[in-house]
């Protein structure tokens, strides 16, 4: 029978605070990913999760690529069309 040792709560709190309060490795202007809060309904959240599982792609990648495609589509609509002669 193995005996598990349990850390006292104050040591756990100190460890968590030290890990959560550590300085970032890079300055803020060099960090690649930015966290952006997005409001999504429960239905949309479930749809994104199922699509993510179906395609094996993270939800963040689906949203990033979807936003990129949407902006491209808007740019194409706003371009002046050439008239046929």
- How far is 30 from 62, CA to CA, in rounded Å? 24
- Tens-digit pLDDT profile for residues 7-25: 566 666 665 656 555 566 7
Q: Is the pTM of this model over 0.75?
A: no
pLDDT 10s digits, 30-83: 777 777 788 889 999 899 999 999 999 998 899 999 999 999 999 998 887 777
CA pair distance 59, 44, nearest whole angstrom: 11
Asked whether residue 48 is domain-assigned, the answer is: yes
Identify whether 52 is part of a domain: yes
Say which DSSP state 29 is in: G
Is position 84 within any domain?
A: no
Q: Which domain holds residue 58?
A: 36-78
**Tally of domains in the chain:** 1
In a domain, residue 10? The reply is no
Contact status, residue 82 vs residue 67, Cβ threshold 8 Å: no
- Rounded to whole angstroms, the Cα distance separating 25 from 63 reads 27
Asked whether residue 60 is domain-assigned, the answer is yes
Residue 66 belongs to a domain: yes
């Amino acid at each position: 029978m193995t005996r598990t040792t349990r850390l006292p709560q104050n040591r756990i709190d100190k460890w968590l605070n030290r890990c959560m309060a550590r300085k970032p490795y890079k300055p803020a202007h060099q960090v690649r990913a930015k966290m952006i809060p997005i409001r999504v309904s429960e239905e949309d959240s479930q749809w994104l999760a199922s699509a993510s599982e179906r395609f094996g792609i993270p939800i963040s990648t689906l949203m990033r690529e979807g936003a990129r495609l949407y902006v491209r589509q808007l740019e194409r609509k706003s371009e002046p069309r050439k008239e046929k002669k």
